Amino acid sequence: MLPLVLDQVSFTVNGKTIIDRISIEIGTGPRTVILGPNGAGKSVLMRLCHGLLRPTSGSIVWRGENGGRRRQAMVFQRPVMLRRSARANVVYGMKLAGVPPRERELRASDVLDAVGLADVAERPARVLSGGEQQRLALARAWALGPEVLFLDEPTANLDPAATRDVETLVGQIRASGTKIVMTTHNLGQAKRLGDEILFLTQGRLVERTPVERFFTKPASVEADAFIRGELPWS
């Protein structure tokens, strides 16, 4: 269903422009990291792509075959765990996606194993630690076999060890053939996980650059200032 094509997409809330005429094509292949200062509209752009928000103007079209939005998934900064077991959380997502019952159980066991939660599969999801919950959220998304996985600041609330786990898992999911689109505050993470950078300020797409070039020779003044301002804290 990729590529995803955005044409002159704007999004306004109460007269305030959050996303300002963005046109872009997101295809298979490179891992895309959306960067930008707070309030640049990164999360909103991702929600527009995922279909949680509708653009005020412009169009968002999946150009590939069976253009629906089923074969995509999103992992949020704060995952919402349902009040049931870890396994049931994974199964729930697949059930909504129409995966047949028997296959749900098999896939659930596989992904829980892959994210290292097999031991706690039957524990209530809400009593797991923050890192475990985020891995469970990844498992829930992964089990859907998505073509694209959107990640919105997936490690913002995690300690370094849990962050490493999540980054490793994102790598594995990518290796299994899923396109990764993520936002992050962590420039180191952007370097580690990104192939290309989409740089946003004030709702506008300022540049789209391969990751090495972005950090050495950004095309825009804004990106240059952002990198220098942000680097010491990364």
Partner 1 sequence: MIEIGQAFGAAATLIAARDPELVGIVLLSLRVSLTAVVFASILGLPLGAAIAVGRFPGRRALIVVLNSLMGLPPVVVGLLVYLLLSRAGPLGQFGMLFTPAAMVVAQTILILPIVAALSRQAIEDAWQEYREQLRSLGAGPLTAAATLLWDTRFSLVTIVLAGFGRAAAEVGAVIIVGGNIDGVTRVMTTAIALETSKGDLPLAMGLGILLLSLVLALNAAAYWVKEAAQRRYG
Q: Which of 30, 116, 124, 171 binds partner 1 (CB under 8 A)?
A: 124
Nearest to 181, CA basis, from 214, 140, 142, 150: 150
Binding residue (CB under 8 A) for partner 1 from 13, 57, 63, 84: 84
Q: Which of 212, 215, 185 is nearest to 37 (CA)?
A: 185
The one-letter amino acid at 66: N
Task: Tell me the closest approach of the beta carbon of residue 62 to partner 1, in angstroms.
Answer: 15
Told to check if 50 binds partner 1 by CB under 8 A, we report: yes
Residues 6+ apart with CB under 8 A from 111: 90, 139, 140, 142, 143
Q: Taking contact as CB under 8 A, which single stretch among the options 54-62, 78-86, 200-208, 212-220 is the one that binds partner 1?
A: 78-86
CB of residue 30 to partner 1, shortest distance in Å: 23
Q: Report if residue 46 touches partner 1, rule: CB under 8 A.
A: no
Q: Is 79 in the site for partner 1 (CB under 8 A)?
A: yes
Q: How far is the CB of 54 from partner 1 (least distance, A)?
A: 12
CA separation for the pair 205, 19 (Å, rounded): 9
CA-based nearest residue to 89, from 120, 114, 68: 120
Q: Which of 13, 61, 127, 225 binds partner 1 (CB under 8 A)?
A: 127
Quote the least distance from Cβ 231 to partner 1, whole Å. Answer: 31
* Residue 47 touches partner 1, criterion: CB under 8 A: yes
Does the footprint of partner 1 cover residue 82 (CB under 8 A)? yes
One residue of 23, 25, 27, 52 binding partner 1 per CB under 8 A: 52
The closest alpha carbon to 72, from 58, 52, 54, 87, belongs to 52
- Decide whether 90 or 193 has the Cβ nearer to partner 1: 90
Question: Where is 44: in which H helix or E strand?
Answer: helix 42-50
Q: 9 with 44: CB under 8 angstroms?
A: no
Reduce the DSSP state of residue 151 to 3 states and report it. strand
Residues that bind partner 1 (CB under 8 A): 47, 50, 52, 70, 73-74, 76, 79-84, 92-93, 96-97, 124-127, 140
